[in-house]
Chain A
Amino acid sequence: MAASDSSTELIRLTAADLSAKLAAREVSATEVTQAHLDRIADVDSRVHAFLHVAADQALAQAREVDNKRNQGEALPELAGVPIAVKDVFTTKGMPTTCGSRILDGWHPPYDATITQRLKDNGVIILGKTNMDEFAMGSSTENSAFGPSHNPWDLSKVPGGSSGGSAAAVGAYEAPLAIGTDTGGSIRQPAAVCGIVGTKPTYGGSSRYGVVAFASSLDTPGPFARTVLDAALLHEAMSGHDPMDSTSIDAPVPPVVAAAKQADVEGMRIGVVTELSGEGYQPGVMARFNEAVELLESLGAKVTEVSCPHFKYALPAYYLIAPSECSSNLARFDAMRYGLRVGDDGARDAEEVMALTREQGFGDEVKRRIILGTYALSSGYYDAYYGKAQQVRTLIIRDFDAAFAQVDVLISPATPTTAFGLGERADDPMAMYLADLCTIPSDLAGNAAISVPCGLASDDGLPVGLQVMAPAMADDRLYRVAAAAETAFAARWGQPLLAGAKGLDAA
């Protein structure tokens, strides 16, 4: 499908620019929405970012925004800007599958708090994006509905688990997207797709209506092509939610102001010693080191900081997250909603539950349920779950000690660039290593962002710079990321993503 020049231009705009044009009534929400729906129709057969495109609902929502604007109503900043929503957020009137067969056919009767906030802000929901089943994975290859593809190179993974959301933004199918980060599921796909992704402070964004993987870790957050766009979305979606007990009752940190401030003059930045070395791709390290020099040149005081317990983060994570998931996923039992297998009148409820779970869950989900069930078993609890929680405390202490010396910590967002589809699909350990740099912040519940810092010299694929800040100091992420983004753009002469050529062929 050939799109017109003007719609090609619309899809390349940032959310901030779209917002300005919409407010000035240079363009309507309907036109903006249609342009993105056209783009989805044009490229998504190759990217497979979406599991469900809600064209009619999106256009209806857009018309409503246009009507309100035409009647002179004051609208929120992002009103009329489209978004792609990870299929882990409940959405009234749209399916919610979590990338799993077991939720086949389920239409939630309620909206997640964040879905509702997006609607209240007039943000246009284009549809639901692909993900690793129940957010377990780093490539979207664990989706029951087939993988998504990296817009830089369609033979590569877009990362995961929020790979569909990252790919949608990277492929200009949406200017904004939301995902969830449990072990790195926002930052890792953002990094390998060359876009911006933030894991807010745990409790800073509501989990109500986010189908749980690991309750103590799951954190919804924004994807965007620019730091300012991510901040705008961060601000719109966050804030206290009385429906989520773990939600923090405090004002959202001033992330938009920080993104606009965009300076690191005098900031103390710590490079985490432990997040480098063996297993880190040389091309990734080269770009990361360049970023360190850049920040120093912008006036930051950079030092090395050791976080000695970070090396235990990955094993601790793979006990805590599976333990919680083994319990969270118990509810998928064919009794009340979703898939039901073997209900032939001869089998009893227990057999139907077992058959449904056997056929409804994929291998990785089963692996983690079994792992978690084992770790919580009587006689093993102290050695596994209990010990992992102690490690978690040590990691929090590492962060506390580090943040006593520096304002933010930095590291590569991922040890390597995007890997090939199928390359790690049969090697869970290799797959788990993709989250090596991102897991510590999840375990500590603090804030972290990934911002593009160039292309790896060895494979020409995007590299992400991770910035980590103390809990509820999310604004610091945006200051650093925006400063780096501005400086890099000046150096590159264009945004990094402008170089993505994955969709140019065909």
Chain B
Amino acid sequence: MTTETLVSFAEAMARYEPVIGLETHVELGTRTKMFCGCTTRFGGEPNSQVCPVCLGLPGSLPVCNKSAIEYTIRIGLALNCGIASWCRFARKNYFYPDMPKNFQISQYDEPLCTDGYLDVTVEGKTFRVGIERVHLEEDTGKSLHVGGATGRIHGADYSLVDYNRAGIPLVEIVTKPVTGTGELAPVVAHAYVTELRDLIRSLDVSDVRMEEGSLRCDVNTSLSPKGSAKWGTRTETKNVNSLRSVERSVRFEIERQAAVLDAGARVIQETRHFHEDSATTTSGRSKEEAQDYRYFPEPDLVPVAPSAEWVEQIRAALPEAPSARRVRLQAEWALSDLDMAALRNADALDLVAETVAAGASPADARKWWLGELARRANETGTELAKLPITPVQVARVAELVAKGTLNDRLARDVLDGVLAGEGDPDSVVAARGLAVVSDDSALAAAVDEAIAAHPDVVDSIRAGNTNAVGVLIGAVMKATRRKADAVKVRALIEQRLG
């Protein structure tokens, strides 16, 4: 790996104007693969989810998965694209061991969806990102190169290929060049992928998990001197595997390309690989000796011709767009922009919405998910949505607190119990004996005991030091193993001490 000369981002932005473009691959969540009946389940034993078709065995033929076409149209419509009334698949020919047929069935000059847009808002400014095309193709297998320095096929001791992924339907979403973002380019890239992810998730066509590879992103970046009408040479950064990396890769490429241009050299049109650990990119294959994929219409498949009626049916069934939903929920919940952004960043919007739907107040739902539960997710390194607790359960905890059955301290214990798999909040309350002690006689006895045990504190309170009440409350809480309602305890103490 070579060490690149960089200029600072601010300096780069003072002299250059960036143009970015994004190619996003989304693995569709269809039950079966694109051209055969194999399951698309993630994480199966290598090469256990294969058949003659997705292994490309001699004689096998593809048959199109109608759900995949429908999902792609759904994405296209949600991105405001036009849907082709007739289009074909094409073969993209190149040799690589993870491609069973040594060609990929894809789409070339006749994509299913074209010419749409997605609006993204960054720092109060809305950018309209143009969508060039949305097309459908099959995924390749997954290679694991063992040994060697680079983790790539050249120089590896040996390579293993898992074809479970081969033939999973993959949608490619290509933006038009995004201009006029200036220094916001990295943030706009991040915001676009985030918005796209939320949109696709809302369409229920993919689980869009970057860490599992069901959402993958290539980022194109170029720079031109400010005021220049001509765009610079672009690079294509691959291996960008998180939302944060999308932003960091654009930022790094801007800094690197600015240094190249400052030195009077030219940017080489090439593929670059992003490195998560160092947030840098290194040179990959040069596009100047570009491969000739010899595209031609796939003769094994008949053209796809979605009827206008079908497309309209799909359009009519589209859910509310995430951006519109956010505006609606923010108003309904009376949240500030900042609160809303926090919810979204924590990926807690759906969880909160479901918790509210289950009866909790928006404030409570937000408090539990962003507070206690976010902390636990953080501690265990899991995503919020993957915590073993449901919005309905969280709503019940909030309800128990509101009713006074639990105090916040006990509620945290209940959450512990639910997360530990001890059952619903009510079962945990019962099993752990966690209900607040609100029986006045029991409490009164505990208060009297505390007063009797702390004559000096009582004196101090009577002398006007009201803060000292805390000591007595603490003693009562300790005596009741924190099951007492603190408000009630204070009232009782004040009543006793006049």
In the bound complex, residues from chain A placing their C-beta under 8 Å from that of B58 are 90, 96, 98, 103, 106, 108, 211-212, 331-332, 337
Q: Is A67 part of the binding interface, using a Cβ–Cβ cutoff of 8 Å?
A: no
Which of B63, B100, B294 is close to A245, meaning CB atoms less than 8 Å apart?
A: B63
Bound together, the chains give a CA A232 to CA B62 distance in angstroms of: 29
Interface residues of B in 300-324 (CB under 8 A from A): 300-302
Contact A242 B63 (CB under 8 A): yes
Bound together, the chains give a CA A214 to CA B301 distance in angstroms of: 13
Q: Is A430 part of the binding interface, using a Cβ–Cβ cutoff of 8 Å?
A: no
In the bound complex, residues from chain A placing their C-beta under 8 Å from that of B93 are 326-327, 330, 376
Stretch at the interface among B49-57, B69-77, B188-196, B334-342: B49-57
Q: Is B61 part of the binding interface, using a Cβ–Cβ cutoff of 8 Å?
A: yes
Q: Is B177 part of the binding interface, using a Cβ–Cβ cutoff of 8 Å?
A: no
Given A245-B301, A330-B93, A378 contacting B292 (CB threshold 8 A): yes
Contact A349 B91 (CB under 8 A): no
* B409: min CB distance to chain A, Å: 61
Contact B61 A243 (CB under 8 A): yes
In the bound complex, residues from chain B placing their C-beta under 8 Å from that of A377 are 292, 294
In the bound complex, residues from chain A placing their C-beta under 8 Å from that of B63 are 242-245
* A415: min CB distance to chain B, Å: 28
In the bound complex, residues from chain B placing their C-beta under 8 Å from that of A350 are 95
In the bound complex, residues from chain B placing their C-beta under 8 Å from that of A211 are 58-59
Q: Is A442 part of the binding interface, using a Cβ–Cβ cutoff of 8 Å?
A: no
Bound together, the chains give a CA A399 to CA B462 distance in angstroms of: 113
Which of B61, B103, B161 has the most chain A CB within a 10 Å cutoff? Answer: B61
Given A98-B58, A209-B60, A245-B61, A331 contacting B102 (CB threshold 8 A): yes
In the bound complex, residues from chain A placing their C-beta under 8 Å from that of B300 are 212, 215, 245-246
In the bound complex, residues from chain A placing their C-beta under 8 Å from that of B97 are 333, 335, 349
Task: Kindly supply a per-residue 1/0 record for chain B positions 28-58, scoring 1 wherever the CB is within 8 Å of any chain A CB and 0 otherwise.
Answer: 0000000000000000000000001001111
Q: Is B64 part of the binding interface, using a Cβ–Cβ cutoff of 8 Å?
A: yes
Interface residues of B in 365-398 (CB under 8 A from A): none
Please name the residue on chain A nearest to B158 by beta carbon: A345
Task: Kindly supply a per-residue 1/0 record for chain A positions 197-237, scoring 1 wherever the CB is within 8 Å of any chain B CB and 0 otherwise.
Answer: 00000000001111110111000000000000000000000
Please name the residue on chain B nearest to A209 by beta carbon: B59
Contact A378 B154 (CB under 8 A): no
Q: Is B231 part of the binding interface, using a Cβ–Cβ cutoff of 8 Å?
A: no
Q: Is A281 part of the binding interface, using a Cβ–Cβ cutoff of 8 Å?
A: no
Bound together, the chains give a CA A243 to CA B292 distance in angstroms of: 31
Given A327-B93, A333-B95, A376-B294, A245 contacting B101 (CB threshold 8 A): no
Contact B302 A245 (CB under 8 A): yes
* B86: min CB distance to chain A, Å: 15
In the bound complex, residues from chain A placing their C-beta under 8 Å from that of B55 are 336
Interface residues of A in 106-131 (CB under 8 A from B): 106, 108-110, 112
Contact A216 B299 (CB under 8 A): yes
Which of B61, B64, B101, B302 is close to A207, meaning CB atoms less than 8 Å apart?
A: B61
* A161: min CB distance to chain B, Å: 16
In the bound complex, residues from chain B placing their C-beta under 8 Å from that of A349 are 97, 153, 159
Bound together, the chains give a CA A207 to CA B58 distance in angstroms of: 11
* A125: min CB distance to chain B, Å: 16
* A68: min CB distance to chain B, Å: 29
B contact patch SS:
loop
Given A90-B59, A103-B58, A109-B57, A331 contacting B100 (CB threshold 8 A): yes
* A214: min CB distance to chain B, Å: 8
Q: Is B296 part of the binding interface, using a Cβ–Cβ cutoff of 8 Å?
A: yes
Bound together, the chains give a CA A337 to CA B101 distance in angstroms of: 12
Given A245-B62, A331-B100, A353 contacting B95 (CB threshold 8 A): yes
Please name the residue on chain A nearest to B91 by beta carbon: A327
Q: Is A348 part of the binding interface, using a Cβ–Cβ cutoff of 8 Å?
A: yes
In the bound complex, residues from chain B placing their C-beta under 8 Å from that of A215 are 299-300
Which of A96, A110, A245, A330 is close to B52, meaning CB atoms less than 8 Å apart?
A: A110
Interface residues of A in 236-280 (CB under 8 A from B): 242-246
Total A-B contacts with CB atoms under 8 angstroms apart: 102
Q: Is A8 part of the binding interface, using a Cβ–Cβ cutoff of 8 Å?
A: no
Which of B60, B64, B161, B294 is close to A327, meaning CB atoms less than 8 Å apart?
A: B294
In the bound complex, residues from chain B placing their C-beta under 8 Å from that of A336 are 55-56, 100
Please name the residue on chain A nearest to B92 by beta carbon: A327
In the bound complex, residues from chain A placing their C-beta under 8 Å from that of B91 are 327
Contact A330 B61 (CB under 8 A): no
Interface residues of A in 3-34 (CB under 8 A from B): none
Bound together, the chains give a CA A96 to CA B102 distance in angstroms of: 20
Which of A103, A110, A337, A385 has the most chain B CB within a 10 Å cutoff? Answer: A110
* B169: min CB distance to chain A, Å: 16
Q: Is A141 part of the binding interface, using a Cβ–Cβ cutoff of 8 Å?
A: no
Q: Is A381 part of the binding interface, using a Cβ–Cβ cutoff of 8 Å?
A: yes
Which of B61, B101, B159, B299 is close to A331, meaning CB atoms less than 8 Å apart?
A: B101
Contact A109 B102 (CB under 8 A): no
Bound together, the chains give a CA A106 to CA B62 distance in angstroms of: 21
* A89: min CB distance to chain B, Å: 8
Which of A110, A207, A214, A378 is close to B57, meaning CB atoms less than 8 Å apart?
A: A110
Interface residues of A in 328-355 (CB under 8 A from B): 330-333, 335-337, 348-350, 353
In the bound complex, residues from chain B placing their C-beta under 8 Å from that of A385 are 296
Bound together, the chains give a CA A89 to CA B60 distance in angstroms of: 11
Interface residues of A in 355-395 (CB under 8 A from B): 373, 376-378, 381, 385
Please name the residue on chain B nearest to A379 by beta carbon: B292
Bound together, the chains give a CA A331 to CA B54 distance in angstroms of: 12
Q: Is A324 part of the binding interface, using a Cβ–Cβ cutoff of 8 Å?
A: yes
Contact A323 B59 (CB under 8 A): no
* A173: min CB distance to chain B, Å: 24
* A158: min CB distance to chain B, Å: 24
Bound together, the chains give a CA A108 to CA B97 distance in angstroms of: 20
Contact B59 A246 (CB under 8 A): no
Please name the residue on chain A nearest to B290 by beta carbon: A378
In the bound complex, residues from chain A placing their C-beta under 8 Å from that of B161 are 335
| 24 sample A-B contacts, Cβ–Cβ < 8 Å, listed by A number | A90-B58, A108-B59, A109-B52, A110-B52, A209-B59, A211-B58, A214-B299, A242-B63, A243-B61, A245-B64, A245-B302, A246-B301, A324-B296, A324-B299, A326-B93, A327-B93, A327-B103, A327-B296, A330-B102, A331-B100, A335-B161, A336-B56, A337-B57, A353-B95
The 4 closest A-B pairs by CB, nearest first: A330-B102, A215-B299, A376-B294, A216-B299
Could you list which residues of chain A lie within 8 angstroms of chain B, going by C-beta atoms?
A: 89-90, 96, 98, 103, 106, 108-110, 112, 207-212, 214-216, 242-246, 323-324, 326-327, 330-333, 335-337, 348-350, 353, 373, 376-378, 381, 385
Could you list which residues of chain B lie within 8 angstroms of chain A, going by C-beta atoms?
A: 52, 55-64, 91, 93, 95, 97, 100-103, 153-154, 159, 161, 292, 294-296, 299-302
12 further A-B contacts with Cβ under 8 Å, apart from A109-B57, A212-B59, are A106-B58, A108-B58, A109-B52, A214-B299, A215-B300, A246-B302, A327-B93, A333-B95, A336-B55, A348-B154, A373-B294, A377-B294
